[in-house]
Amino acid sequence: MKDWYLLYCKRSEQERAVINLDRQGVECYYPQVTVEKIVRGKRVTAFEPLFPSYMFVYFDPESISYTTVRSTRGVADFIRQGARPQTVNPDLIYSLMINEDSEEQQSKLSDLPKPGETLKLTQGQFKGIEAIYQEPDGEKRSFMLINLLGKPVKVSVQNEDLVKK
């Protein structure tokens, strides 16, 4: 009987794992989100994994063994509960598929400050320091440029720690 499982992939090798797993007849899914970032000085729109290094796979362990899937190039191992690979509720997978790149997800990313905008940090070790927004660092963090001892330093902070000046 087919089930969904969660795999941990080697760093930046999800695409390789998908190609190799597809050849073996294993259905793969990893949710992606559209992000804007600066590449070589130009703003580009790119797709990035919502869960970097993690992928959902759908297969029947009686047809394709766990060892075969785990030994595929790009795959590190299954996420396990004890000795057995952890199954994932199919409703979770289908809701991720439906909500992938939804307008709500895109609006979360567009709520971020614009690069170069001056902000004040409200919490954490840099509380009270003015910073210049640089770029997002994942879904909940951002890179900020702060002035420490007369030199600009790039730091990563929680998005909720920011307030616009």
Residue 56 above 90 pLDDT? yes
What does the alpha-carbon distance between residue 79 and residue 12 come to, in Å, rounded to a whole number?
A: 17
Q: Are 135 and 37 in contact (CB under 8 A)?
A: yes
**Residue 128 confidence (pLDDT) above 60:** yes
Mean pLDDT to the nearest integer, 3-29: 93
To which residue do tokens 């590190």 refer?
Answer: 76
pLDDT tens for residues 61-86?
999 999 999 999 999 999 998 888 98
Give the mean pLDDT of the chain.
79
Highest-scoring range by mean pLDDT, 27-41, 75-89, 134-148: 75-89
Long-range contacts of 76-82 (CB under 8 A, 24+ apart): 76/7, 76/8, 76/9, 76/10, 77/7, 77/8, 78/5, 78/6, 78/7, 78/8, 79/5, 79/6, 79/7, 79/8, 79/54
What is the spatial distance between Cα 74 and Cα 15, in angstroms, rounded to a whole number? 8
0.85 surpassed by pTM: no
Q: Would you tell me how many other CB atoms lie within 10 Å of the CB of residue 102?
A: 11
pLDDT beyond 70 at 142: no
Distance CA 86, CA 50 (A): 20
Mean pLDDT of the region 98-106: 62
Q: Which domains does the chain have, with CATH numbers?
A: 3-109 (3.30.70.940), 112-164 (2.30.30.30)
